[in-house]
Chains A and B, each alone.
Chain A
Amino acid sequence: MSPATEEPLERRAVISGIGQSAIGRRLGCGDMDLTVEAALAAIADAGLTRDDVDGLSTYPGMGVGTPGFAGPTGPEVQDALGLSLNWHDGGGEGAGQMRAVISAALAVGAGLARHVLVYRTVSEGTAQGTGGRQGIGGSGGSGGGVPRFGGFMQWSLPFGAVSAANWIAMVGQRRMHEFGLTREQLGQIAINGRRNAALNPNAIYTDPMSMEDYLAARIISTPLCLFDCDAPCDGATALIVSHRDVEADLDHPAVHVNAVGTALRGRPSWDQFDDMTSMAARDAAASLWERTELAPRDVDTAQLYDGFSVLAIVWLEALGFCGRGESGPFIEGGAAIARDGVLPLNTAGGQLSGGRLHGFGFIHEACVQLRGEGGPRQVVRPGGRAPEVAAVANGGGPIAGTMLLTRGVR
Chain B
Amino acid sequence: MVADGPSLRLLPRLDDDVAFFWTSGADGVLRFLRCHACGFYVHPPGPVCPRCLSRDVAPQEVSGRGRVETYTVNHQQWIPGSEPYIIAWVSIDEQPDVRLTTNLVGVEPEDVSVGLPVRVVFEQVDDVYLPLFTPAEVGGTAGDDGEGGAA
Contact = CB atoms under 8 A, between A and B. Distances in A.
B151 to A, nearest CB: 20
A155 B101 CA distance: 6
Contacts of A154: 12-13, 18
B43 to A, nearest CB: 7
Q: Among the interface residues B8, B9, B15, B87, which one has the most CB atoms of the partner chain A within 10 A?
A: B87
Interface residues of A, number: 46
A159 B79 contact: no
Interface residues of B, number: 43
Contacts of A134: 78
A215 to B, nearest CB: 15
Given A146-B10, A222-B109, A135 B70 contact: no
Chain A: interface secondary structure?
loop
Interface in B74-133: 74-80, 82, 85, 87-89, 97-103, 109, 113-114, 125, 128, 130, 132
Nearest to B85: A160
Given A142-B80, A160-B85, A218-B75, A155 B10 contact: no
B6 interface: yes
A78 interface: no
Interface string B1-38: 00001101111110100100000000000000000000
A158 B10 contact: yes
Contacts of A271: 89, 99-101
A1 interface: no
A190 B87 CA distance: 24
A156 B12 contact: no
B52 interface: no
Interface in A79-94: none
Q: Among the interface residues A133, A134, A272, A274, which one has the most CB atoms of the partner chain B within 10 A?
A: A272
12 contacts: A132-B76, A142-B80, A146-B10, A149-B10, A157-B12, A159-B6, A159-B101, A169-B72, A174-B70, A221-B72, A271-B101, A274-B97
